[in-house]
Every structure is written in C-alpha cells, then in structure tokens.
Amino acid sequence: PAGALILRLDGASCCRPRGALAFAPPVRSHRRRRGRSSRRPFVPRPPAGGGATSTSTNGSSSDNDDPNGSSPSDPRPPPPISYSCPPTPGSSLNDKRGDFDLYLDDCETNDGLSLDELRAAPYDAMAPFDVGKARMRPWILRRFAPYLESGDSIYESACGQGLNLLLTAEVLREAGVHDITVYGNDYLESSVRIAERVWDAAEEEGVARKGRFCVGDSADLSHVPSDSFDLVFTGYVAPLFDPLNLLPESAEGIKEKVYNSYRLCLSSDPAELRLRDLEQSRQEVWFARWVSEMIRVAKPGGVVCAEMNAESLCRSGGDFGGVDKEWWNEDTAEEYGWDVDPSSIVMEDVLSMPGWPGDRYHVAMRKRS
C-alpha cells in the first residue's frame, strides 16, 4: 500500500548511515525549483614546482608518478596545522535518543580490529573496503586529485572510524599525490578512538601523515582555524530526524522518526503539508550550517565536497532525508554567506554497485581565492 515502510537498515556505518529506508511510491518534490546558474567545470590549478602532477579522469598519471605509490623524494614534512580539540564538545542538533545506535553498534563490532581486519570487514556494513574504494575512485580522481599537491593537508568532517579518509588517501597516493596530512572530527568518541588507531597504523604504512582527530560537532568546528586545509570534505551529512521534534521524547531510533516525516509527503491536509515544508526547511538550514563550517576551514581556492547526499524524503521516496540537488545553487550560497564561486558547484550521481545505495549524489565546489 502507498506509504508502506520497507526497512533496509541492516547495519549502517558508525560514520555515515548509508543504508536506505525505501517507501512506495515516491512523491513529486513539493519544493519550488530555483533557477540554476550557469555551470563551468573545475579548472585544475597547475602543480607547483616539485608538486605532484594531476591525474586524468581515467586514473592515468604523468610519467613522473611512481606506479608503486611511493614518494619520488622524501620532502621535509609540512608544519602541522595547530589547534586543540574542544575540551567539552557541545551537543549536536541531530543527537536524539536512539539516533546513533547504529553507529555505536558498528563501533562496538570494529573496536579492537587491526587495520588489515578493518580492510577485510564490510565497509559501512555493506561491502568490503576494496569495493567502497573502487566505487569512490572515479570521484576522487576527478574532484580531489587534480586540485591537490604533495604535502597538502586534507580534512574530513564527520570522519567516523577514519576508513573513508583512508580510502581517499590511498587513491590520492596512487594518483601521485604524496605526503599529505589528514585531519578530521567525529561526534562520537568511540568513532574517534578507532580513527586514531586506524591512522596510527596507516601512517606507519606510509599512506599519509596523521594530523589531529577530535571529538566534535561538524556543525560547529570553532576549534579549527579558518583557511587551513587544501581539501575539506565529508563522506555524509547526517540528516536531522524528526526536525521539528513532533514526536515524544520516548520515540527511539530512526524508523519511527523517518516514517512520521515521510507520511507528511503523502498527506493532503494543509496543516500537515505546512509541517512538511517546515521540516524540509529545517533540514536545509542544518545542511547549510554543516557546509558553512567546511567552507570556513578550507583555504582560499580550496575544494569543498559533500559525498553520498540523499535528496529530500518527498523527492527520494525514502532514504534518510537530505536536500534536493537544485538546492545547491547561487541563491543558497548567497543566502547562507558561502564564500564559494557558485559557478564551480558540480554534482555527480553516486556510482551504482551491488550492496550500496545507488540513488545518492556527490557535490563539489571551490572556495573563492
């Protein structure tokens, strides 16, 4: 029947819940499509002397790249980006009863595993690490590698257990971008504890240099200095569940909250349609806060990316909720004061692979120089 709930929540990641909630049938978006500004493709900056050469979209590298992924030289490491983790991280808007249970369960499963064991385990509880890496490789080669040089620093907001950051760094090294330093944060202390251990081991392997990992809210990175990183990205913007707090505090977990929001999409009651619009508006403000912080800590001219985005519940017909593709435009950038070139905003549909949701999309943009 219309609106029936089919759960596919069998083990979302501690870092990003990429499983899907499917409903039938999808509902046409209620939101007015804003005018789209003209788009022009990213133009890679030329590599500086001694820096890594860029990688083409087919993954090939220049003749100067070491096919084994090792650095052609041993440059002096760049100075670390200095900041301290917040002593008492504040509470996040998406920290509600039961919403992090899937994450915590995954952390409990992975706690104590070696790096090799984590690589062999299901990545995001869906597919092996190598499958996830293969899925993300084309995106990383197109949107990350051409804009980075050896010795650069990258930051992942909501880095979870550090595995998405690990596969990103591995692809970059294989593309000829060496000696990068990685930083990140996650809201869950158990996730950061695993990420610290993952990156102790990855640094020993020579994947990249380990910077600082903090427990913190991705919507408030005030402990991180502005204009610091060459690339800032997130593997998933965790959406708000029950954005208007319509359900009682006794409501636990994601199932009831997402279903209650989705049923508003199917309603013809004017009052419920108003609630539907208000919920989506609150979701968009949440996404904007998260992205605003990523833009702030990126260097001028740096790349800012949000991966694995879902569209709104009404547009997607399920999933966990998010923002529609046309939300990422010049109007939104102006509304929230994003210091980005609106014409640089590009989106790509997520590469479909068995065992992974295939109806999501990535978005990338450039901070103004």
Of 8-17, 90-99, 203-212, 247-256, which range is least confident?
A: 8-17
Sign of CA dihedral 115, 120, 124, 130: positive
Q: What is the mean pLDDT of residues 285-303?
A: 98
Greatest mean pLDDT among 83-97, 117-131, 241-255, 317-331 lies in 317-331
Where in 28-95 does DSSP place strands (E)? none
Q: Is the pLDDT of residue 40 over 70?
A: no
pLDDT on residue 29: 43
Token pair listed for 190 = 């158990």
Q: What's the pTM value of the predicted model, to 2 decimals?
A: 0.81
pLDDT on residue 76: 67
Under DSSP, the state recorded for 363 is E
- What's the whole-number average pLDDT of the chain? 82
Percent of the chain with pLDDT over 70: 76
Percent of the chain with pLDDT over 90: 60
Categorize the per-residue pLDDT at 44 as very low, low, confident or very high, splitting at 50, 70 and 90: very low
What is the gyration radius of the CA atoms in the chain, in angstroms?
Answer: 20
Of 91-95, 170-174, 264-268, which range is least confident?
A: 91-95
Q: What is the mean pLDDT of residues 282-304?
A: 98
Residue 80 to residue 73: CA distance in whole angstroms: 20
Where in the chain does DSSP place strands (E)? 4-8, 20-24, 122-123, 127-128, 153-157, 181-186, 209-215, 229-234, 298-309, 346-349, 361-366
Token pair listed for 369 = 């120089």
Burial 174-210 (b: 16+ CB within 10 A, else e): bbbbbbbbbbbbbbbebbbbbbebbbebbbeeebbbb
pLDDT on residue 316: 85
C-alpha dihedral over 43, 44, 46, 52, to 10 degrees?
A: -170
